Amino acid sequence: MLRPDQEMICHWIQPGTRILDLGCGDGSLLRHLMDHHNVEGYGLELDDSKVLSSLKSGINVIQSDLDHGLSDYFDDDSFDYVIMSLTLQAMNFPDQLLEEMLRVGKQGIITFPNFGHWRNRLQLLLGGKMPVTKTLPDTWYNTSNIHLCTVNDFEALCMQKGIRILERTVVDHQHRQPALLKLAPNLLGETAIYRFERLPYHQ
């Protein structure tokens, strides 16, 4: 079973391509892409039980810590797509990993929980407490999401790093995309999904 953000990703993948899935979890996204889009590739995962699940799913999984970067394993331009779904916000150095994604891949695809969503804003504004929602169910002290950002934050970082955003979708917690979402993505989108590439000759 794919998560809705993963289903969205599948629409963006050209068949027959090479893929690296960062934080591949139980391997179901890569498995799905292998079965239905004829892709090949690897999944990277740190968690023991998820590595085992990935191995069970039949994908090729490498146990590794993304906070150490990708230079231990991969040369420049090794993949067509480097995917990272709902993982960026749990990284120690998300900005560096973003660069690593575009070093080893031609395009990056990222999904993350949008901290700018109105529920988060409302909880912080009215309750004065860190938001706890369906998308972000953990409390501040036990969450692995140490680098949450908003749609605007992410796009500003892309701008700063010379990353061109090719596609953006935001979905609500029921993973619908009502027309309103397009008008105010940072306010109404709960999960953000981006496809991006390096700008040529960016200094």
Partner 1 sequence: MPETIPENSIGVVTPQMLHFDQPLALECGTTLPAYDLIYETYGTLNEERNNAVLICHALSGNHHAAGYHSMEDRKPGWWDSAIGPDKAIDTNRFFVVSLNNLGGCSGSTGPTTINPESGERYGPDFPIITVEDWVHSQARLADQLDIEQWAAIVGGSLGGMQALQWSITYPDRVRHVMVIAAAPKLTAQNIAFNEVARQAIRTDPEFHDGHYERENVLPERGLKLARMLGHITYLSDEAMGKKFGRELREGQINYSFDVEFQVESYLRYQADSFVGQFDANTYLRMTKALDYFDPAGKHGDDLSAALRNTTAQFCVISFTSDWRFSPARSKELVRALLDNDLKVNYAEVTANQGHDAFLMAIPHYLNLFSTYMNRVANEGGF
Contact positions vs partner 1 (CB under 8 A): 42, 48, 51-52, 55-56, 58, 60-64, 72-75
Task: Measure CA 21 to chain center.
Answer: 9
Distance in Å, CB of 61 to partner 1, minimum? 6
* CA dist., res. 188 & res. 119, Å (int): 9
Q: Which tokens in the block code for residue 4?
A: 């809705």
Distance in Å, CB of 56 to partner 1, minimum? 5
Q: What angle do helix axes 28-37 and 48-57 make, rounded to 10 degrees? A: 20
Distance in Å, CB of 147 to partner 1, minimum? 25
Q: Pairing mode, if any, of strands 79-85 and 18-22? A: parallel
Nearer to partner 1, 62 or 181 (CB): 62
Nearer to partner 1, 16 or 58 (CB): 58
Nearer to partner 1, 78 or 177 (CB): 78
* CA dist., res. 76 & res. 55, Å (int): 26
Distance in Å, CB of 28 to partner 1, minimum? 16
Q: How far is CA 130 from CA 53, 120, 127, in A?
A: 32, 8, 8
Nearer to partner 1, 58 or 178 (CB): 58
